[in-house]
Amino acid sequence: FGILSIPIFFFLARQFSSRIAIPCALSLAFMTYHISLSQDARSYTFLMFLGMVSLFFFMKHLHTQDRAYLFLIAISSAILFYTSYSSILFIIFSQMLWFYRTSRNQKPFPSVLILNGLILLFCLPWIIFLMSYYKGQPFTDLRNIPEPISLLNVLYGIIHDWLPLTPLIVISIVLLILFVFFTINRRNAIVLLSIIIAPVVGLHLYCRLFNITHFVTSRYFICFLPLFFIILFLSLDSIEAKVNKLKNLKIFFLILILASNLVILPLYYRAEKQDYRGLVTYLKTQLRNGDKVIVGNVPYIGVMLHYFGILPTERHYIIPARIVSKGEIEHIIDIVYQNIRFSIIYSKSHWFEYLKDGSRLWIVADKENAKMIMDRMPCTLKGYFDGSFMNMVRFPSDVSLYLFLWDPSSPDEKGIEMPID
């Protein structure tokens, strides 16, 4: 769906202005962030594709007042809902387009009722299923480390991921501001800006109100990416129309976007995203009875169990936990793989106790902790597993893995020599 998104983006952009259709489509085609998501076995590019389909039919309805398009919008919205709950923000806030004015004399109220009635009808089976079978059950994995949600941090993260270089970020923020002042129709400009800003603010307020702490990434707002580019190029088009000397701004900005992405594309294709498969493959040949594998986060235990071929018995992996000291919990699971018994463990600091009892430890660390281990602990670096272009909280994030061995019985154990920059 990453490839299919390019032509549909062209046709969607044409609904706003034929002059921005090609720049918008080219911006998406060479966007490293978009390419990365399209190569993941996840739903994000499918969501963006469906979001653009929904917006396309929405604009067609606004231009023609043909109510047949309402059925197609509702179908697209329902598929979005069934695909991911993150699309709920898009389904709600995209309806601000009812305030968008075209050349026709619009009477939106009956259409609003018809569209939302159809969406509710199509989504009702799943809503009934949830209410019947998920009473009192969490919808998310509660073992994720909670993080407070900062509005400015989320806004910056979205723009940072969608535009890879600082100059582009600054220019884009300026263009978003200037859009209201240079466009002929300020009402429509405010509507479009509200559609991409209101979901972020709304999610922030919702999380603050219900005391929800969780990391928020630009992927949750992927359906709004096309509108973001449309607004930028509409802003440039408006400036060109009012300032006669600036007739090639869209081309200049497009060149900046393409150049910035073409710089990092070769780096992306040479890098891995997060090589837990390689890590586990290496450990399978090195583990001994009684070994302990220390990881840096609870969810990583489930990832390693997956590559060891151990499937969850329920919706999520159940990782046993115990209180080891005041304010600290240790997660530990014992595994038998090919008659070798070992443990995978996560704790903030209690794992240091295993350094004292003569245990043989494998320590899986990220780059920051790997530097600390290299400087302060007599551990041997046994493996490096590239993850320099992962789409985590930011894109790109370096989540490379460094595997250290602590073996008191073999103090002269040799490892690999490599700098950790």
What does the pLDDT average to over 72-76?
A: 96
What was the pLDDT predicted at 49?
96
Most confident among 207-216, 248-257, 270-279 (mean pLDDT):
248-257
Q: Which of 301, 355, 351 is nearest to 325 (CA)?
A: 351
Task: Please count the CA atoms within 13 angstroms of the CA of 328 that sit on its side-chain side.
Answer: 10
Mean pLDDT, all residues of the chain: 87
Asked if residues 402 and 384 have their Cβ atoms less than 8 Å apart, the reply is yes
Q: Is the pLDDT of residue 139 over 60?
A: no
Residue type, 403: L
Alpha-carbon gap, residue 377 to 406, rounded angstroms: 9
* pLDDT band at residue 105 using 50, 70 and 90 as cut-offs: low
Domain ranges of the chain: 5-270, 276-406
Asked if residues 32 and 267 have their Cβ atoms less than 8 Å apart, the reply is no
Pull the structure tokens for residue 110: 């009956």
* pLDDT band at residue 137 using 50, 70 and 90 as cut-offs: low
What does the pLDDT average to over 221-230?
A: 95
Q: Is the pLDDT of residue 101 over 80?
A: yes
Query: If you search the block for the tokens 């530990």, which residue do you land on?
Result: 332
Q: pTM for this structure? A: 0.83
What was the pLDDT predicted at 138?
57
What was the pLDDT predicted at 146?
53
Asked if residues 418 and 384 have their Cβ atoms less than 8 Å apart, the reply is yes
